[in-house]
Structure 1
Amino acid sequence: MSAPDVGWGILATGKIAHTFARDLALVADARLAAVGSRRLDSARAFAAEHGDEATRAHGSYEDLLADDAVDVVYIATPHAFHLDNARAAFAAGKHVLCEKPLTLDTADAAEMVRLAGEHDRFLMEAMWMACHPVVRELRAELASGRFGAPRQLQAQLGFRVDDGPGSRMLDPALGASALLDMGVYPLTFAHLMLGPAERLTAAATLSDRGIDLDVAIAGRYAGGALAALNASMTSWSSQDAAIATDLGRIDVGPAFHHPERAVFTPYEPMRGPQPDRAVTLTGAEPVIGQGYGNEIAEVNRCLREGLRESPLIPHAQTLAVLGQMDDLRRQVGVAFPGERPTPG
């Protein structure tokens, strides 16, 4: 007899929640049990679009968390609300997948991890990139030494944000930040491929409201490997990544955070690149939807196995990258309401 589907609740009905729900529908052992919004009409419209006849619509987050059909909650609110939302979910006995970044800073993230342990609930940051089949295969192959020792890594993620001043993307009170919204991807990619950073240095351009719009980061990693990482809310980047090793070059993309492929091209002294010997990685398993489905499948796997964190996105990794972003924000003088800016 097969196990029942995992019942998912989606907390908030913004743009990313719609993308997540479309991929949730493609995961075999998952179903949208309920959705919660601050407006009942929004929850009903979302349930009608993405659910089935049994999907419940709730006009408050409290009602969603009280729903017995919900096993795990996907938190899709702005960063500034994640901790409070997760605290309520744990108190209601729900497991949590929380959008990235997990919180605004490391102290709040550590508190969320502590609460998950106190309530014996599963917690994972929704860093879907780390669950992507191509990224997972590349990480394993790079660690094996097959492509040589990594010496230089480049990754950039940028797109123009033309929202109004009240938008979550531009409002400091909601955690607006190119570093937190875009930079978390290249920082995490470098962490996955190179390990924890030894030193990171940043330069940034700030808005008149004090948020970082453009960020350039130079990093040093174990063994002397270096990284150049960029995030932008004002310009269009290639969104690709590349890793130079002592044996050749790895190109990841298009869109390194959910790539179609990673291609290793070996180089030879005096002869240059050897494209006829290139190795293309496309992942050991299918990409589910846009890739959010793979993180949903990972959460389901962990819940069925009784795990309280995922080995693909362990709590220590989430805390390490948030600690990096705390330090980088201090370097460029960015602080959220209630914090004091301390430029380096």
Structure 2
Amino acid sequence: MTTSWGILATGRIAHSFAADLRHVPGARLGAVGSRTPGSAETFAHEYGDGSTRAHPSYDALVADPDVDVVYVASPHALHLEHARLAFAAGKPVLCEKPLTITRADAEALFESAGDLFCMEAMWMACHPLVREVQRRLLAGDFGTPRQVHADLGFVVPETAGARMVERDLGAGALLDMGIYPLTFARMMLGPFTGVAASADLAGSGIDLDVAVAGRHESGAVSALTTSMTAKSPRSASIATDLGRIDLPADFHHPPYAVWNPAGGEPQRIQTPAPVLGTGLGNEAAHVQDCLRDGLAESPLVPRAQTLELLGVMDDIRRIIGVHYPADDASAGQQTAPVDEVGRPHPR
């Protein structure tokens, strides 16, 4: 079986996803849609197979009968609108993270999906090495986890595109990068029961640097940081009662991990399965498996987890004082302008 993908929007992450799609068995780029004249044609020529169609609108893309699944790669604030376009056309969706700006909008998005497959594109949760660390940790191979430290950040230059700096598009370190440390802590320690946070904000009101202290149902705690102003470590560690697991930069798609048992020799943990491209390919392959099995949601990125983490980020934003138009707008009424040309991205 071949899965024909449609890519909605042609920013930086769409390019990365299309490049990795070449490494996924049974996948092809069927079509791409853009509102920028010429962008879809250029994209289709670069990543397509000669029969890939270029559409001058998102409506035309989702209506394409040869598209099996739509990958929504537009800015955060437009995910709800664009996912709904695909659902109305009867198409399942893989939507870039964060799924929406707020938990309320995510609930509306999932309601619109109905029985159609819908998954937040949290590729870290599909990475074979991250999954192996989680599997062995939950199996008790490393003792009882008590703490997670995780960080992800980079310096956003002055030339960054609107997606990275404009509040109306959902810009800010927390939604763009902080979601990775939060998701990692959730994967390794279980559900959050509360958070405390501190941040430095830009004059525009977006968050530049954020530090989060989390509590989890298990009694474990997490210390998580993200930045748009610093060359941060981008690493993670899991401390247990028997030792520590270290994941080097970039921890969200690590080349390896190391188990450091107390009083013992370090043990390198390697990926148990191939990494497809940079790892975005594993995410696409997982979606194809879900579609083949007739699933409406992913077992690796379940809807409940996506909603939980968006609720946690809502709480963090309330604490640090970051407010978006989506916090006031009713579901589906965001009309922010589109800037598809993304700049630096943590992927």
TM-score normalised by the chain length of structure 1: 0.93
Q: How far apart are the structure 2 equivalents of 1:185 and 1:241?
A: 11
- Structure 1 contact 106–322 (Cα < 8 Å) conserved: yes
Query: Are 2:321 and 1:333 aligned?
Result: yes
> What is the correspondence of 1:58-77 to structure 2 with a 5 Å cutoff?
58-77=55-74
8 Å CA contact 2:77–2:326 kept in 1: the answer is no
Conserved in 1, the CA contact under 8 Å of 2:8 and 2:74? Answer: yes
Q: Which moved more, 1:144-153 or 1:29-38?
A: 144-153
With normalisation by structure 2, the TM-score equals 0.93
SS in structure 2 at match of 1:300: helix
Contact 1:159-1:235 within 8 A present in 2 as well? yes
More deviation in 259-268 or 84-93?
A: 259-268
Q: Go from structure 1 to structure 2 and tell me whether the alpha carbon gap of 1:165 and 1:137 turns closer, same or farther (over 3 Å shift).
A: closer
Question: Which 10-residue stretch deviates more, 35-44 or 186-195?
Answer: 35-44
Structure 1: which 4+ aligned runs deviate by more than 2 Å?
163-166, 337-340
1:192 to 2:192 alignment = no
Structure 2 counterpart of 1:104: 101
Unaligned runs of 5+ in 2: 329-347
2:280 to 265, 285, 292: 292
Q: Which runs of 5+ in 1 are unaligned?
A: 269-273
Letter in 2 for 1:200: V
Match 1:52 to one of 49, 53, 70: 49
- Computed over aligned residues only, the root mean square deviation of the Cα atoms, in angstroms, reads 1.1
**Residues 187-225 of structure 1 deviation map (CA, whole Å, 9 limit, x = unaligned):** 000000000111110000000001100000011113321
User: Counterpart of 2:345?
Assistant: none
C-alpha distance in 1 between matches for 2:275 and 2:255: 9
Asked if 1:121 is matched to 2:116, the reply is yes
Question: d(CA) in 2 for partners of 1:81 and 1:92?
Answer: 17
CA deviations on 1:96-145 (whole Å, 9 max, x unpaired) are 0000000000000001111111xx21000000000000110000100011
- How many angstroms apart in 1 are the aligned matches of 2:6 and 2:326? 31
CA distance in 2 between counterparts of 1:32 and 1:101 reads 23
Partner of 2:15: 18
Larger RCO (CA under 8 A, 6+ residues apart): 2
The equivalent residue for 2:80 is: 83
Secondary structure at 2:163 match in 1 = coil
User: Is residue 38 of structure 1 aligned with residue 40 of structure 2?
Assistant: no
Displacement of 1:165 after TM fit? 7.6
| CA drift at 1:338 | 5.5
Q: What's the CA shift string for 1:168-199, capped at 9, x where partnerless?
A: 11100000011000100000000000001111
Higher mean C-alpha displacement, 219-228 vs 168-177? 219-228
How many correspondences in the alignment?
328
2:229 is aligned with 1:234: yes
Shift of 1:53: 1.1
Aligned residues of 1:214 and 1:234 also touching (Cα < 8 A): yes
Percent identity at matched positions?
A: 58
Distance 2:304 2:317 in 1: 20
Range 330-339 or range 48-57, more displaced: 330-339
Please name the residue that 1:221 is paired with. 216
Alignment-mate amino acid for residue 162 of structure 1: P
Q: What residue identity is the alignment partner of 1:23? A: D
Q: Describe how 1:117-156 pairs up with structure 2 within 5 A.
A: 117=114, 120-156=115-151
Which residue is 1:206 aligned to? 201
**Is the Cα contact below 8 Å between 1:40 and 1:58 reproduced in 2?**
no
